[in-house]
Amino acid sequence: MNFFETSSWSLTSRDFDSLAAGAALLGSGGGGDGRIGQNLLSSLPPEASVVAVRADGLPDDASVVHVGTVGSPDVVSERLLDPADFAQAAETVAGLVGRDVDAIGCVEVGGLNALISVLVSAHLGVPIVDGDLMGRAFPRIHMTLLSAHGRRSTPLSLVSPSRDVAVLKDGSPRRLEAMLSAIVSSMGGAAALAVYPVFAAELRQIGMGPSLSHCLDIGRAFRRNMHCKTTELIEVIGGQLVAEGVVEEVRNGNLSSLTVVNNRRRSTARIDFIDEFLAVTVDGAPAASTPEIIIVVDRTANRPLRCDEVTRGLSVVVATLPNIHEWPEDALSLVGPAAFGIEIVEG
């Protein structure tokens, strides 16, 4: 299949570290351990390259299947992910709708799955779409632009490390999550996922930005400027400072939170999180909330932290990054604070 040259570019082994750095930022504290994806990509031949193409550079009827890993981050980190599992899952889903896999799509550009999608694209020898469905990381597969525009995630396929294959042809979002959890648990706690088989024409209609390009750009900028002060580094990557100080408290629960205290300015920030950072209040006033991308950066190492890496005593900077996608107005019920049981009270 031919693509318009003006809408495509090549991703090479020289780009993988920057892509991983960008994905860590866009994970908003979640999305899994991107170092796993880096290690897998490093196993590709040095001359390996992947063609990235925007949705508007694909023919209307190009078939795109989205891939990612699903399951416990701890289990994923202990198992060697195999690109062949994701390829099998993608081909299974494409077969269910009577198509080939013309291009691979990324479920979420934040964290590990951004790198997994590139790996699968290289394995299958097909382009990857310069975009994703979340613009960050979210914990549930229906929290996507396609879902916000009424598109179901099914049919989907799961492939275990033992090459067991499970297929879900249809299901409501609420029941689908429960079924996925049960199947993944029976597969040992983690599996390769292929989901949202769509035509390229559908991707052009949902306000999806070129998130893979964006991920690579901010990753490059971040790595080039890691010698700068953290607040300056945030500015370089287009971020907006929200708070800075020392982590005084971390509370874990169904909805977890951390408290950052700035004694010099006598201010206190609270960051609510579950799998990702979801909302920030400063001195009790709302400062940021999902689907905004909220990041917490270790000021000593200039490293974006996952939610499970934040501990008492760390000196951190809290910031937001610009949204990549155009979410419809009614999408807040799907990806906004209320979707996670968070009530935002305006002053």
Q: What is the pLDDT of residues 31-83, one digit of tens each?
A: 998 888 888 898 888 888 999 999 999 999 999 999 999 988 888 877 778 99
pLDDT in tens, 152-163: 999 999 999 999
Cα–Cα distance, 280 to 319 (Å, whole number) = 9
Here the tokens at position 318 are: 């809290």
CA distance 181 to 71: 8
Residue 105 clears pLDDT 80, i.e. is over it: yes
User: How many Cα atoms occupy the beta-carbon half-sphere of 84 within 13 Å?
Assistant: 5
As a whole number of angstroms, the distance between CA 249 and CA 260 comes to: 7
- What does the block give as tokens for 215? 């991920």
Partnered with residue 10 across adjacent β-strands are 51
Report d(CA 27, CA 219) in Å as an integer. Answer: 12
**Higher pLDDT residue, 130 or 71?**
130
Tell whether the model's pLDDT for residue 1 goes beyond 80.
no
- DSSP states of 43-92 as a string? TS-TT-EEEEE-GGGS-TT-EEEEEEEEE-HHHHHHS---HHHHHHHHHH
Q: How far is CA 318 from the centre of its chain?
A: 19
d(CA 206, CA 8): 20
* Coil vs helix vs strand at 290: coil
Q: Which domains does the chain have, with CATH numbers?
A: 5-212 (3.40.1610.10), 229-340 (2.40.390.10)
pLDDT band at 347 (very low <50, low <70, confident <90, very high): low
Bridge partner list, 270: 259, 281
- Mean per-residue pLDDT, 226-246: 97
Q: Is the dihedral of CA 206, 211, 213, 217 positive or negative?
A: positive
Least confident of 102-111, 188-197, 337-346: 337-346
Mean pLDDT of all residues belonging to the chain: 93
Is pTM beyond 0.85? Reply is yes
List, for residues 146-185, the tens digit of each pLDDT value: 999 999 999 999 999 999 999 999 888 778 889 999 999 9
Residue whose C-alpha is closest to residue 53's, from 154, 128, 126 = 128
Q: 317 versus 44: which is more confidently predicted?
A: 317
Mean of pLDDT values over 314-334? 95
